[in-house]
Amino acid sequence: MVTAIRGKQPSLAQLRAFAAVAEHLHFRDAAAAIGTSQPALSGAVSALEETLGVQLVERTTRKVLLSPAGERLAARARAVLDAVGELMEEAAAVRAPFTGVLRLGVIPTVAPYLLPNVLRLVHGTYPQLDLQVHEEQTSSLLEGLAAGRLDLLLLAVPLGVPGVTEIPLFDEDFVLVVPEGHPLGDRRGIPRDELRELPLLLLDEGHCLRDQALDVCREAGRDGQTPVTTTAAGLATLVQLVAGGLGVTLLPRTAVEVETGRGGLETGWFAEPAPARRIALAMRSGAARQGEFEEFARSLRGAMASLPVRLRTPDTEDTTDAAGAGPGAAGQRS
């Protein structure tokens, strides 16, 4: 029989121990998850049971089960711990913006081409910021953002995900990449309908760039039955397949200089309005560091002023052309 201790309140350590046991249903695994010893964890759960006056877990020699009361109170314990975490995050943000850890998630078709600008900005402007970069596909990044594993994302939008706020950075055109000597190589003003019958090479399933390229093709009138016979895990492989004569592909403008510098390739530029994608920062709506992230976005636009992209602001559809690269200017650079 568990008897409540009058006047006592649960401690955060007790709630943390119980939440870990409720998640893992194993004392050893729960203790390892929160970095404590098994006896200390068991003692904290017992103390919480005494404080609340209810039995939370049923202990056997082989496993741990939640009691009916434990089932009901586990969600409450997790909500309290989450609220305390948000309190600490808010306090840290108010106390010292641009310090501590910033866990930035980046998609693979952005990371190699924009991270140099991001890193220069952080080292030069925010030297006290501990930037941790995670390169993952969009679905994984969004899961990490929702779970609190990531703080900020750099990726292609729109996402259309409730609870996620997007801060547009820039728009970049897609460029047609073809084998050397191809009829569309080094051409300007290519109509989109040229994509209808071309042997198109794409990234593997799961990459948002694949979906964006397919959207461009559908807008061009490409029949959905036209097969895509070869795919690749990354842009570097994709352009090598093009150079080998297996087909053509679409690259975002920021990737062109890096990925086509190995030879055997030519680029073609679409007629205006050229197909494009939008790159943005994304954060949890109402995040404690929202003001900090918005300032980071403004600084990042400035750091990207030399890129051949159209910079954007989050509150207007008007564009500011970076480095003189207007909607058609990007196509004049090689």
CATH number at 190 reads 3.40.190.10
Q: Strand, helix or coil at 9?
A: coil
Asked if the bond preceding 327 is cis, omega within 30° of 0, the reply is no
**Within a domain: residue 274?**
no
- Band the pLDDT of 223: cuts 50, 70, 90: low
Cα distance between residue 102 and residue 128, in whole Å: 11
Question: Could you tell me the two tokens for 85?
Answer: 């975490």
Are 165 and 283 found together in one domain? yes
Among 34, 68, 94, the domain boundary falls at 94
Among 268, 288, 307, the domain boundary falls at 268
- Any idea what DSSP says for residue 134? E
Cα distance between residue 321 and residue 312, in whole Å: 9
Are 87 and 139 found together in one domain? no
- Band the pLDDT of 99: cuts 50, 70, 90: confident
Among 220, 238, 268, the domain boundary falls at 268
Q: Write down how long the chain is.
A: 334
Are 163 and 303 found together in one domain? yes
Who has greater pLDDT, 197 or 135? 135
Are 69 and 188 found together in one domain? no
DSSP-H helix ranges across the chain: 12-24, 27-34, 38-52, 68-95, 111-125, 138-147, 208-219, 235-243, 253-259, 290-303
**Within a domain: residue 1?**
no
Structure confidence by residue, pLDDT tens digits, 168-183 = 999 999 999 999 999 9
Q: Is pLDDT above 60 for 226?
A: no
Q: Is pLDDT above 90 for 136?
A: yes
> What is the number of structural domains in the chain?
3
What's the predicted TM-score (pTM) here?
Answer: 0.66
pLDDT at residue 322 in the model: 44
For 144, counting Cβ atoms within 10 Å of its Cβ (0-12 exposed, 13-18 middle, 19+ buried), the class is: middle
Are 46 and 175 found together in one domain? no
Are 114 and 242 found together in one domain? no
Q: Identify the domain containing residue 252 by its residue range.
A: 171-268
Going from the C-alpha of 46 to that of each of 4, 14, 41, 75, 211, the distances in angstroms are 11, 9, 9, 18, 52
Are 222 and 254 found together in one domain? yes
- Band the pLDDT of 321: cuts 50, 70, 90: very low
pLDDT at residue 114 in the model: 92
Q: Is pLDDT above 60 for 1?
A: no
Structure confidence by residue, pLDDT tens digits, 56-89 = 999 876 778 999 999 999 999 999 999 998 888 7
